Structure 1
Amino acid sequence: MIQKHHDEIDIQMLFFKQDLDRWFEEAEFIQFEIRFFNGIFISDLISKLQTDFYSTQEHNANLLDFELKHRALIKELNHLNYKTEGIKECDDLQCENYYLNDINKFKTKIELHFSNYRDLKKELMTYLNSGLQKFI
C-alpha cells in the first residue's frame, strides 16, 4: 500500500514487487501447463486423436523450444529479483535509474514471453481439439 512518505522511486518499487510476484506465479503455472502438454504429446492419447504425425511433431518441437526459452527466462527472473535488492543501497537518482531501467526492459521482455506462450497454447489447444472433435 502506498504511504504518504513514499517517494516516486518507492512507489515504482512497490509496483515492481507486485509485478514480480505475478511473474513468478505466471511462470510457475506456465511450467505446469508445459508439463501437461508434454505429457499429452508423449502419451498414447495423441495417436488415438488421429492427428497428422508431422504436425504433431512440429507442435511438440515448438513446445519443447518454448520450454527451453521459459527456463532461461525463469533464471533471468530469479537473477533480477536478487539484483534489484541493490536499489536499497542507492544514494542517487542515477543509481536508482539503473535498476528501474533494467526492470522496465525485463518487464517488456517477460510480457512478450507471456504473450508468445498464450499464442502457442492456443495453437496447441486448437490442434488437440481438432483431434478430439473426431470423437464427438
Structure 2
Amino acid sequence: MKNGTQTFRMKYEQPNIGNNTISVIEGNAHDWFQKLEIIDFELLLYKSYLQDQNSGKVGCEKKAINSLISYICQHIEQNKFHLRTCLYYKNRVSKIRECDDMECEQIYMDAHSLFKKRLQDHFIKVKRLKHQIIAKTVAYSGIKID
C-alpha cells in the first residue's frame, strides 16, 4: 500500500522498484513468454487427455467433450499467436534504447500497457477454459470431489 492507495499488479510482474522502465518492460516480456509457453504445453496436454477420455464415451457426453476439444484447439491457435507476438515484442524490447525524457518513456509504457492488456485478456480466457475442462472431466468421469 502506498499513500493510502493499493497498487494492483499481475502476480507474475516484477515491481518497478529502482528499475528503469526498459528493464521492467524486458522483465515483464520474459515472464509473459514463459507463461505462454506453459499454457501451450497445458492446452496440448488437456486436448490429448480429453481425446483419450472421449474414446469410451457415447451420445451427449461425446458431443460435449468434442465441443470442448474444439474450443481447446481454438485456444491453442490463439496462444500460438500470442507466443509469436510476445517473442517479437520481447526481441524488440531488448533493442530499445534508454529514454532521456518522460515523453519517450511514456511512448514505451503506452505500448507496453496495450500489450499487457491483450495478454491479461488471453490469460483470463485460458483460466476459464481450464475451469471448464476440470468441470467436464469431473462430470464425465467417476471422480468424486468433496
Range into which the TM-score falls when normalised by the shorter chain: 0.7 to 0.9
Give 2:142's aligned residue: 133
Structure 2: segments with no counterpart, 5+ residues: 1-15
TM-superposed deviation, 1:114? 0.6
CA distance in structure 1 between the partners assigned to 2:123 and 2:113 by the alignment: 15
Structure 1: segments with no counterpart, 5+ residues: none
Cα RMSD for the two superposed structures: 2.6
Give 2:44's aligned residue: 35
| Residue from 54, 57, 73 that aligns with 1:46 | 54
TM-superposed deviation, 1:82? 1.7
Aligned residues: 129
CA contact (8 A) 2:43 2:72 kept: yes
CA contact (8 A) 2:99 2:105 kept: yes
Question: Equivalent residue of 1:133, what SS?
Answer: coil
Structure 1 residues 54, 92: CA separation in 2 closer, same or farther (over 3 Å shift)? same
| Residue from 104, 114, 118 that aligns with 2:127 | 118
Structure 1 residues 133, 49: CA separation in 2 closer, same or farther (over 3 Å shift)? farther
- What code does the residue aligned with 2:120 have? E
**Bigger helix fraction:** 1
State which drifts further: 108-117 or 45-54: 45-54
Residue 81 of structure 2 corresponds to residue 72 of structure 1: yes
TM-score (norm 1): 0.79
TM-superposed deviation, 1:14? 3.2
